[in-house]
A and B are shown apart, each in its own frame.
Chain A
Amino acid sequence: MSFIFLLLEAFLIFILGILLGIFFSSKKKAKPSQIPEENKQETEVKPHKPETPSAPPISSDQQEELQEETVLANIGEGLVIIDKLGKIITFNKAAQALLGWTKQEALGKNFADIVKIDFDNNLEVKNETLGHQSSLHFIRKDGTKFPVGITTSSYVQGDNILGTITLFRDITAERNNDKMKNEFISLASHQLRTPLSAIKWYSRMLLNGDAGKLLPEQAEYADSIYTSTERMIDLVNSLLNITRIESGRIIVEPKPTDIKKMLEEVTDEVKIRYIDKKQKFNLNIHDTIPILSIDPRLIRQVYVNLLTNAAKYTPEKGEITITLSKNSTDTTTEIKDNGMGIPQKDQEKIFGKFYRGENMINTKEGTGLGLYLVKSIIQLSLGRIWFKSEEGKGTTFWVSLPLSGTPAKKGVLSIETE
């Protein structure tokens, strides 16, 4: 999804670049002719040309202007240009269609009288820090509203702001597509879960000997079924969590949390889960770590994912050192392992969706969604995450959380934790 937004953004910037180019070139040409004030509106698009008094033949300059005018008029996005007084001087076809005002009605009016923004709706979306939902709603002439994607920039000459160019488009369809995609993923995830639960339950019952004692080989097969199912359930859960986070409707419920205790608990859990690897876990808690106002479910998931990664990608008898410290503004958790490390060329991709290190692809575990989820949670929590890694030597992750805590966020969805 974010890829599509990037493309759209690039496209918008491209169009804006062209428009600015067009605008400045026409201004430059208009300047020496000293047009009287009342004609200025016209001049933006059709500058007066004293050096070519008669119409035919069409000069290349004129042809260029005609072209520019046509481009401005027919561009697919709504285009409104205002002068420095806030009066509309350009109002293209798409703007007329989107807002319901004619060009005659709009030209010369104040921007705010024609392009009305739905502020009530705006306040609601302001809460959504993630998920590309932070767009505005415009109100049409007839009072109806539509969600709008908008790009605004000022055009200046020297220190003078000459006006503002606003490009906008109706993003109802994008919104609907997003909604449908999210609904599809949650439906698919729910439908997948029932059969997965059945496989998990029955293979477990077999392993427990509920249907009679298994021969060693039978137990081994049943165990493979059980383990694979668990992996699949993890994957479905991660997908669902990511869809939720991306939808921007996730709930953040900060409450006073002892992260020192949380880290101890998670360390114990992970240690037990990977007990066969005989790794050494060191837990150093520096300073007096205060109680933080954070969402414990979210932050716990961060610790579980980072510590599980450390254990997973560190060989037997390896060492994992967890250090919790604080300074005047943040607490920082350092998770250091001496495992296989992340190849240099992959390092910029590790927080991406479905990233799996080239040196880990052949390992059985991992969904490629863990770090993406971690980063999304840290963003929601106003924290920071960074790392240092050397292939073959190990990886260190740092997570910092502000002492000032995480702001609460209303939403309708919560993430599912392990």
Chain B
Amino acid sequence: MGFLDNFQTLFGSKKNSAVPNAPTALSPDTPKKKVLIVEDEKLLANALESKFKHENFDVLKAENGQLGLEIIMTSHPDIVLLDLMMPVMDGKTMLHKLREIPEFKALPVVVLTNAGEVDNMRETKTFDNASAFLIKSNVNPDDILQVVRDAL
């Protein structure tokens, strides 16, 4: 429920435009933050990729949970954006496997999904494992960016 409330607050303030002068964009000394986008829909993944690159993030992409896990092990991203419905390994499974590894218990994961999956997640407690939960069709890339900044 907490996430949904957050989400509503977020949605209520959707008119906020991009945060001006993100500090990371201006100071070359601060290492770039690394975001991993796990999403099988190329159009959506690409939109997020350009948004985050634009905001001076390092962007990694994976098109299913299996590849997502591999990239997390090898590249240690700072945050993960995770879709739920994907082939090979879905997001729910990936999240559970991720949380079983002590090293990644606290890695922030923002779940991005189509709303219908909320019910599924209630049953499987995926809510407890994610740091935020966003419904794709209800948010904009700016909102996602804001949530990522807040989670880092």
Residues in A lying within 8 Å of B, measured CB to CB: 186, 189-190, 193-198, 200-202, 204-205, 208, 210, 233, 236-237, 240, 269, 297, 412-414, 416-418
Contacts and interface: CB of A to CB of B under 8 A. Distances in A.
Contact of A417 (B8, B17, B47): B8
Contacts of B11: 418
Contacts of A237: 115, 137
B93 interface: no
A202 B141 CA distance: 9
Contacts of A416: 115-116, 118, 135
A240 B119 CA distance: 13
15 contacts: A190-B85, A193-B114, A194-B41, A194-B136, A195-B43, A197-B114, A198-B43, A202-B43, A208-B142, A210-B50, A237-B115, A413-B119, A414-B118, A418-B11, A418-B138
A201 B118 contact: no
Q: Is the interface of B mostly helix, strand, loop or mixed?
A: helix
Contact of B136 (A193, A269, A412, A413): A193
Nearest to A199: B43
B18 interface: yes
A413 to B, nearest CB: 5
Nearest to A194: B41
B44 interface: yes
B146 to A, nearest CB: 13
B122 interface: yes
A417 to B, nearest CB: 7
B54 A200 contact: no
Contact of A193 (B43, B115, B142): B115
A189 B50 contact: no
Given A194-B41, A210-B51, A414-B118, A200 B140 contact: yes
A237 B122 CA distance: 19
Q: Is the interface of A mostly helix, strand, loop or mixed?
A: helix
Contact of B140 (A204, A269, A413, A414): A204
A233 B47 CA distance: 18
Interface of B: 4, 8, 11-12, 17-18, 41, 43-44, 47, 50-51, 54, 85, 114-116, 118-119, 122-123, 135-138, 140-142
Nearest to A198: B43
Contacts of B137: 193, 196-197, 200, 233, 236-237
Nearest to A240: B116
B142 A204 contact: yes
Contact of B116 (A189, A198, A210, A233): A189
A79 to B, nearest CB: 41
Contacts of B51: 205, 210
Nearest to A211: B50
A202 B47 contact: yes
B76 to A, nearest CB: 27
Contact of B141 (A193, A194, A201, A417): A201
Contacts of B114: 190, 193-194, 197
Contacts of B43: 195, 198, 202
A258 to B, nearest CB: 14
A196 B115 CA distance: 13
A297 B4 contact: yes
Contacts of A189: 116
A165 B116 CA distance: 44
B3 to A, nearest CB: 13
Contacts of A412: 119, 123
A416 B134 CA distance: 12
Contacts of A233: 137-138
Contacts of A186: 116
Given A193-B114, A418-B11, A198 B4 contact: no
A205 B116 CA distance: 25
B119 A210 contact: no
B60 to A, nearest CB: 19
